[in-house]
Amino acid sequence: MIKSAFNEGPRLTSSPLLREHALGASFLLVVLLLIGSLLYSTISWMWDDQRLPLSKIVLQGELRYVSANDVQAAFAQLDHVGTFMSQDVDVLQGVAESIPWVSHASIRKQWPDVVKVFLTEHQAEAIWNGNTLLNSSGELFNGDLGQLEEGRVKLYGPEGSNLEVLSVWRDLEPKFKALHLSITSLVLNDRRAWQVILDNGIRLELGKESLEERIARFFALYKNLGSATERVSYIDLRYDTGASVGWFPEQELEQENTDD
């Protein structure tokens, strides 16, 4: 009789501890699946444009020229405003900053359906080339000139010269103020020659060179003219020394005084 060379090993049997581990793992898996399903449903609901749209605008900032209607009209140009979750605030910021008087916009979303819009307006310092505005930083913007509550100096110049012309006006205006005069227009023409028109109607031809010296020459001449300044039409300072003065005809001046 031949005996087997292999001994019969121990038999595997299910223990209560193993069954408990299997049940625990199954329960945990079910819980995780339920949580995942709940999260998916919640996120899908929050991203649904029909269920949680951003529908309220809170406008903030010290504003004179921009209204809530302007912001609402700008946002209405979007195909749609999304939900609290889906809407990109950078998109809303770009739209808000496209409003003509807006210099900077800061956008925040507030749960569940509010868009908070904080705006900073351009500070209009001058009118550029008759139809555009210059802000205090010398930047051009397309605000409505008709909305200006006060007059602004009119600056003119070739394309790209706005910063230079604004800088010259800022330098010259205080000097004229010392003589109780004010610049109403400052022109830099295509030949790079300067012209100033004052609030009393006198036009100054300053040319291309020696701007400060020619302005100083005008001040000396203006003080010597005394009451005769009322008859001055223009002063041409485009000379190495001296100046030529253009006078209103006395008949025309008398007519202006009569009209006054």
Given a cut of 80, is residue 246 above it in pLDDT?
yes
56-121 maps to CATH 3.10.20.310 = yes
- pLDDT band of 79, cuts 50, 70, 90: confident
Average pLDDT over residues 59-85: 89
pLDDT score of 197 more than 60: yes
Using an 8 Å Cβ cutoff, are 68 and 125 in contact? no
Span 172-179, mean pLDDT? 96
Domain segments of the chain as ranges: 56-121, 124-259
Confidence of residue 203 (pLDDT cuts 50, 70, 90): very high
pLDDT in tens, 103-160: 999 999 988 889 999 999 999 999 999 999 999 999 999 999 999 988 999 999 999 9
145: amino acid identity, one letter? L
Residue ranges in the chain assigned as alpha helix (H):
16-47, 68-75, 89-96, 162-177, 211-225, 250-259
Please give the full DSSP string across 116-131, using - where no structure is assigned.
Answer: EEEEEE--EEEEETTT
pLDDT grade for 4, boundaries at 50, 70 and 90: very low
pLDDT category at 87 given cuts 50, 70, 90 is confident
Topology annotation, domain 124-259: Rossmann fold (3.40.50)
The residue type of 94 is G
Structure tokens at 155: 């600056």
How far apart are alpha carbons 210 and 239 in whole angstroms? Answer: 10
* pLDDT the model gives residue 260: 39
Quote the pLDDT of residue 2: 43
